[in-house]
Chains A and B, each alone.
With several copies, the nearest count.
Chain A
């Protein structure tokens, strides 16, 4: 399965034009409101929400393509979180404006909400169900930015639980949805970093030749391309399984694999990209760091690669060795 080609063209064209380094820089600590409005006007902030609920319709693959593109360009808007948060508002009207997703874990008195600093509403998923809160009504106990300047807030868990409507979805589902959005964003950003690094390797000269002529740089690029491709593949598998498999227990496992792989890829790709770019890539004026900082931030949000790998590892351990291969061969699902 794949996303709608026209949709992909639309989002790519729009972000290529709008998301300049200057605008990313200006949005740090907040978001790019005019970009958000443009996306909203184009209906891109409600893809995946059924038309019957006031959304644009579209498949999970469409949603994935939009968020991946946002990650590729470093779009400084909470498009990923908004789209996955909306999926928890079944049967309720979806408010306009950016949404943030709160995973109301039972073991934390205070919950950190990525993008909460600019969202209009928070979709809070707890064991009590799903609650929709205007951010303005929330008691905010702390706020700050992640490594990429995306503003989070912290809110007491009790306030987030209040007013929940019973739901089949619990915090682990919200953690999975947030991780899914991050895996989409990360797949895009990883691709971008490979492109930037190839370009730089062809432009930059040292010791009288392009650095791309050094074998070590070539091997770094190959390794980066491999990690980016594999992270993309893991994401594609998650999209396929989550949209086609009736076995919902598999959904969390393929998301786990996608987020774990993306996180793993960050270690290699960011490290080698900065090594290739040298000092210039370490400055805050270079394009590279808008992507690498996002990846460092995103790999921690909604569960690190080790946390998600452990989810996957515990599941396969409890199934036993003989069950691993049949599990793997169920993803990606065989399709006609």
Chain B
């Protein structure tokens, strides 16, 4: 019987000091009024100056090679830093995609020139990236994209439309997945796609806001009309884009941002109910904590497995499904234990959680897609 594997795993002791350093840094920032803890900050709270401070403090690009300006530490060191930033509700949307996936992608697939040009400023928290994946009507069926790149003198011309590119209006680049060979010629739906780094300020780029029901402008539609991309911005092997993207999914799906988005609300809830809750209120809070702790354990197991060269795609899908549901339910429990109207700061966190919740279980693969992945791994099909 196939069974999901979450080998017992723990973060190395070497991460402990780093954790305390980040915590000290954040305590000072909060005390200085640099930010007020919010929910879902990795998507919504874009603060270039805060990201630059993190860069200056050495908290970005941690696992990246020193050769290109990184800190040469481990993915688990980054994991600890990210946990602290999320748990404290710090404004980290500016560098989020850059630090999580664009940097590693460029280091893995990018040209030498691209690495030298981009990575140092990403480590410094000065160049920010978005994601260019989804297209209108592609929905959960990512392979159905229609944007194209055609070869031209010294580079490529990109055309098409990407949607749900978070913070494209505030960021500098995105890594975009496009067709470089038509489906008919490529022979298979997943073949003939390639990845490029694209400058979001280049001529021919039109960025239009997609406003969401929580009142945010986090997302954009990015329309590309003959956008020129230089040759050295091709990522990896021409035509191999799909495999490159899929290889990143476990990284994208397994992070602590999949269960910590509403942690600041949980902490606030504990203060709001006070030190002497009823048995039943205590049980509701305690169960949220038990769930958080259990998912954190699984998430660490996935992170360690990734760090050891494993590719726990299914396990990551499972953690994301469960974690995002927990994120939503924290909002539901909080608003019922503490009625609104008494504490505006608390109400703000509840509002963040409630109105952003639909996104938690849709972004990065809907929970229905994720459960299908898990079921297949379990051996039904």
Contacts and interface: CB of A to CB of B under 8 A. Distances in A.
Contacts of A230: 291, 294-295, 297-298, 322
B292 interface: yes
The A contact surface, by secondary structure, is helix
B286 A309 contact: yes
Interface in B256-312: 263, 266-271, 273-277, 279-287, 289-298, 300-301
A230 B342 CA distance: 31
B366 A308 contact: no
Interface in B1-52: 1-4, 6-8, 10-16, 19, 23
B354 interface: yes
A322 interface: yes
Interface string B324-347: 000010001001110111100000
Q: Interface residue tally of chain B, by bracket?
A: 35 or more
A332 B8 CA distance: 10
A321 B269 contact: yes
Contacts of B295: 230, 233
Interface of B, secondary structure class, is: helix
B150 to A, nearest CB: 28
A142 to B, nearest CB: 9
Contact of A320 (B7, B275, B337): B275
B141 interface: yes
A275 B321 CA distance: 13
Contacts of A225: 4, 318, 374, 378
Contacts of B298: 229-230, 233
A264 B378 CA distance: 22
B309 to A, nearest CB: 19
A235 to B, nearest CB: 9
B358 interface: yes
Interface stretch (B178-186, B209-217, B246-254): B209-217
Contacts of B276: 317-318
Among B289, B340, B359, residue most surrounded by chain A Cβ atoms (within 10 Å): B289
Interface string A299-336: 01001111111111111111111101110110111111
Contact of A229 (B6, B16, B271, B351): B6
Interface of B: 1-4, 6-8, 10-16, 19, 23, 83, 87-88, 134, 139-141, 163-164, 210-213, 215, 263, 266-271, 273-277, 279-287, 289-298, 300-301, 315, 318, 321-322, 328, 332, 335-337, 339-342, 351, 354-355, 357-359, 361-362, 366-368, 370-372, 374-376, 378-381
8 contacts: A213-B381, A233-B294, A257-B290, A283-B211, A292-B213, A311-B282, A317-B273, A335-B13
